[in-house]
Structure 1
Amino acid sequence: MSLQKITRLSSLRLLSSIPHQQLLLPSIGPLTASSRAVIQGEYRRPGQPKEDKFPWQKIKLDFRKGLEGMKKHFTLLKTEFTDRWVGPEGKPLIEHMLEQNRVLWEFRGPESLEQWTVSSDREIGGQSEVYLKLGKNNRTCFLYGTLNSTPPRDGETRYSGYCTMRSKQPLASFDRKIHYDWSSFNTLHLRVRGDGRPWMINIAAETFFSHQKDDIYNYFLFTRGGPYWQDIKIPFSKFFLTHRGRIQDDQHPLWLDKINTIGFTLGDKADGPFQLEIDFIGVCKDYAHTEEFAYETYKRNP
């Protein structure tokens, strides 16, 4: 027998004596990608515990609430069908075409406050406080509280100190999302009375992709303080795009036909009490304003 055949037989016997699991290289793992690399995970605030619950464990079954919910949704469904026969948003077509001003939110009773929600840095362990109530004459919205920029001692959060008021997402029958259509207008109209602090106005629009759900358009609201009201008009072309508080390089105009919510944020790092009184929030058509977008956009290939 030749030397080459003897070497081949000995090597085969050696390989057959080694278990099959040890033949695989331990450094090579399974060829699978993490879920975070494929899909952007939900944002979890620092210090907030992670919920390890399945989706069906969060469902609360109540027969009485189910009947009330069915009655509510069928009433909304009936309203949707009747409004379509009258015109857009239940208004005659000629009135909709000639409309130049529209009041979206006005505070004329306790039920008007149910369309809004307030939050502060207490959600991440901060010390700021914010409250919402009606004004003295029950005809305005009064937002007040105390701002505290001391960060929580959780070892993760470096900055703190904010208070926010935001409108709720409008829903149609069976909890279907609907959007505000402001495409006939070009200016946001506010009547407010503040204490001299600068606020940030936040407008959220519908997006196509899940990783854009935190995109918000912002602009500044400067209050002058004192007992007098301010009529503030801000063109929609001035709003710039941000993502989780960071200004984006790729700027593009706001989609006025897919508006979801509007909000106000205070975070000027001036600790102490604050207040903001709002009479109404509306939109208008300013024919003297012809600017489409105030910021530079990237040029794309045709």
Structure 2
Amino acid sequence: MALVHKLLNGIYILRKCQKPSFASHLFLDTRFADYCSSSLQKPMVAPNKASPQRKTEEGLQGHHQGEVALDITSPDEKPEVSFDKAIQDEIKDHLRRLKDDFVNRWIGPEGRPLHEVLLEQAKVVWQFRGKEDLDRWIVTSDKTIGGRSDVFLKMGKNNRSALLYGNLSTEAPQDGESGRSGYCAMISRIPRGPFERKRSYDWSQFNTLYLRVRGDGRPWMVNIREDTDIIQRKNQMYSYFMFTRGGPYWQEVKIPFSKFFFSNQGRIRDAQFKLLLDKISSIGFTLADKVDGPFFLEIDFIGVYTDPAHTEEFAYENSPDLNPKLFK
């Protein structure tokens, strides 16, 4: 009976001495806390001599302390639960995952992921490292109209470049119709897809043509054609000049697309139009400087480049009289 009485007395003291909240500490006397702490202390027992009675009391005391901790939990200490915030977080997570699926799986030009295409600043479109690279090009000269110029294309030294060489002749053909002659050209083949469907190059994120060449000092004409057969004939193209300096050293040539001018059948038109960079079908190099004799042009690669310093959109002016469609 004495043991039961002592246990009940301990439980009563525990319930009376619950842990006060933070606000109550300002009004309670420190002696009240000392009384509670002293009333819960038990007689000291020598080590290695713990009695079964003490073990029972400690077990009951721990059990009731757990109950007391549950009873005194204040609303301020409970975690805040907001269903609106949980729904917003869930929606944000799903939108993020949806964006990752689109960005990582959305196919860009040439079958590459779009995020890789958008981040690149320069891209090599043509390079010459084997015969299969030469097969993407064709060469032509004034022999198609009866002229005497010769042009050839082969791999350069160590199969690290393409060598375009030949002999230019301005002798007019003896057909009674042509009065001029003397040109040689190298033109890229139009890319083809399934069922020989024509494809085009998309250079809309770049603003400059980038080449690494080595020549003999002759000027060349760089020609770009658009894939717009419905509104454009095959003799229409955009052109600009490339001047080689000769010598044994390579030179890097950068030509902004805004500099390319519109021509038709070899003549510069008065009305100029911007080059549609997302509809490029082919590029070519033409030699027609009216100088008879041998020539050569060695090409390492042909690519496109984004020059942050170039902000010009179009280099040529138009007037309503020349191009009324642009001023409607």
TM-score, with normalisation over the residues of structure 1? Answer: 0.70
8 Å CA contact retained: 2:106, 2:113: no
Gaps of 5+ in 2: 1-104, 321-325
Q: Which amino acid aligns with 2:142?
A: D
Instruction: Indicate if the aligned counterparts of 1:147 and 1:272 stay in contact, CA closer than 8 A.
Output: yes
* Aligned match for 1:170, one of 175, 191, 195: 191
**Cα–Cα, structure 1 residues 269 and 178, in superposed 2: closer, same or farther, change >3 Å?**
same
Work out whether residues 164 and 296 of structure 2, in 8 Å CA contact, stay in contact via their aligned partners in 1.
Answer: yes
Q: How has the CA–CA distance of structure 1 residues 282 and 301 changed in structure 2, closer, same or farther, with 3 Å as cutoff?
A: closer
- Structure 1 residue identity aligned to 2:115: I
Checking the alignment, whether the CA contact within 8 Å between 1:207 and 1:213 is kept in structure 2 is: no
Query: Aligned match of 2:270 in 249, 252, 263?
Result: 249
* Separation in 2, partners of 1:210, 1:156: 29
CA distance in 1, matches of 2:288, 2:152: 15
2:280 maps to which of 259, 264, 267? 259
Q: Equivalent residue for 2:87?
A: none
Aligned equivalents of 1:216, 1:200: Cα separation in 2: 11
Summarize deviations over 1:243-302 as a string: whole Å, max 9, x none.
010111110110000000000000101100000000000000011100001011234443
**Displacement of 1:136:** 1.4
| 1:219 aligned onto 2:220 | no
1:104 corresponding residue in structure 2: 125
Between the aligned partners of 1:125 and 1:223, the Cα distance in structure 2 is 28
Matching residue's letter, 2:240: Y
Question: Which moves more between the two structures, 291-300 or 274-283?
Answer: 291-300
**Overall identity of the aligned pairs, in %:** 62
Q: Note the 1:79-228 alignment, pairs <5 A.
A: 86-207=107-228, 209=230, 212-228=233-249
Alpha-carbon deviation of 1:214?
A: 1.8
The structure with the largest alpha-carbon Rg is 2
Q: Partners of 1:211 and 1:135 in 2: how far apart?
A: 35
The structure, 1 or 2, with the larger RCO (C-alpha pairs under 8 Å, 6+ apart) is 1
Relative distance call for 1:211 and 1:112 in structure 2 (3 A) is: closer
Specify the SS of the correspondent of 1:212: coil
Q: d(CA) in 1 for partners of 2:202 and 2:164?
A: 27
Tell me, yes or no, if the aligned pair for 1:186 and 1:285 is still in contact at 8 Å: yes
Q: How many residues end up aligned between the 2 structures? A: 220
Which position in structure 2 is the counterpart of 1:281? Answer: 302
CA displacement at 1:212 relative to structure 2: 3.0
Higher helix share goes to which structure? 2
Structure 1 gaps, min length 5: 1-83
**Alpha-carbon distance in 2 for matches of 1:176, 1:202:** 23
Letter in 1 for 2:292: D
